[in-house]
Amino acid sequence: MSATRFTYLGPEGTFTEAALRTLPEAATRELVPMVSVPAALDAVRNGEAAAALVPIENSVEGGVTATLDELASGEPLMIYREVLLPIAFALLVRPGTALTDVKTVTGHPVAQPQVRNWLRRHLPEAVWESAASNADGARLVQEGRFDAAFAGAFAAATYGLEALVEDIHDAENAETRFVLVGRPARPAAPTGADKTSMVLWLRDDHPGALLELLQEFAVRGVNLMLIQSRPTGAGIGNYCFAVDAEGHVADRRMGEALMGLKRICPKVRFLGSYPRAGVAVADVRALRPGTTDSDFTAAADWLARCQDGRGA
């Protein structure tokens, strides 16, 4: 029964699973690892799962562009939550292994650059071989094919390993962003610290076409957080844009910007409004003067007075 099942980018023991387990709504679900982002999302589209957690930005497990492309095409889906997870690896070994015993290490290829400096300092002689995922690396250590694997510390239990070293990461402040995706429904009410995601297609690609698109946001004082051009699949040089903007579809400024985009773009896909992870309402940037809901209401009242001849 779909309502009881969430899928995620597997296998078990990945950062995606760890991110999913931070969500209260996941606590009572059956969590099912899938081989790829499209597979995880198709289970949602097919009704086999209620939602899927997939990486969408800055992932050490890949999948980011697959997620964007999947959200941009096929049956519409919507984002309901985002999860931020700091990027930090543990060195997982079979119980009893000392650091000096480690001659071979493994992990996802995307993880390797994150642990390169650490390896150079602590295991300069160790030989790296890539695994299909961080979790697969852990499994291969369990099977005895490698001495150690870089993976999330939470993967140790799953594979009967122990974390010899924790919190390994070359970049400071690095985080992966995941999103919880379901079928379209009414978005959650605004919290005051919200984000709206969408995909926009350009009418044509003259110089300034993208500029016109961004003016729809700027004129209403809507701040952009992310913009990614993605090929549309209609040949190189044809792009759509994945955009994250500050605010909620229920905010007047966001609604007017979305309607403006809808009018000028051949296609707009609304991907949902949801609470921003890791941002308190008090830390949300102040709105530009003239862009609050009450500014919109006051302007609408004024317009009605003009239209009625009751003074300007």
CB 48 within 8 A of CB 2: yes
Long-range contacts formed by 124-130: CB under 8 A, 24+ apart: 126/102, 127/103, 128/104, 129/104, 129/105, 130/106
DSSP H or E stretch at residue 211: helix 209-219
Contact 44, 69 (CB under 8 A): no
Q: Which is nearer to a copy of itself, 160 or 233 (CB)?
A: 233
Q: Site residues for a copy of itself, window 87-106 (CB under 8 A)?
A: none
- The residues near 16 (Cβ < 8 Å, ≥ 6 apart) are 8, 9, 10, 53, 54, 55, 61, 63, 178
CB of 96 to a copy of itself, least distance (A): 26
Among 37, 92, 151, 179, binds a copy of itself (CB under 8 A): 37
**CA nearest to 51, candidates 2, 1, 18:** 2
Per CB under 8 A, the segment of 21-29, 45-53, 90-98, 277-285 that binds a copy of itself is 277-285
Our finding on whether 36 is near a copy of itself (CB under 8 A) is: yes
Binding residue (CB under 8 A) for a copy of itself from 56, 268, 274, 275: 268
* Under rule CB under 8 A, residue 3 binds a copy of itself: no
Among the listed residues 3, 157, 218, 280, the single contact to a copy of itself using CB under 8 A: 218
168 within 8 A of 91, measured Cβ to Cβ: yes
Interface pick for a copy of itself out of 156, 260, 274, 275 (rule CB under 8 A): 260
CA dihedral of residues 182, 187, 191, 195 (deg, nearest 10): 70
Is 144 a binding residue for a copy of itself by CB under 8 A? The answer is no
Confirm or reject binding of residue 308 to a copy of itself (CB under 8 A). yes
Least distance from a copy of itself to the Cβ atom of residue 79, Å = 12
Is residue 207 reached through a cis peptide bond, with omega within 30 degrees of 0 on the bond before it?
no
- List the interface residues with a copy of itself, window 222-241 (CB under 8 A): 222-229, 231, 233-237, 239, 241
Residue 133 binds a copy of itself (CB under 8 A):
yes
Asked whether position 118 contacts a copy of itself by CB under 8 A, the answer is no
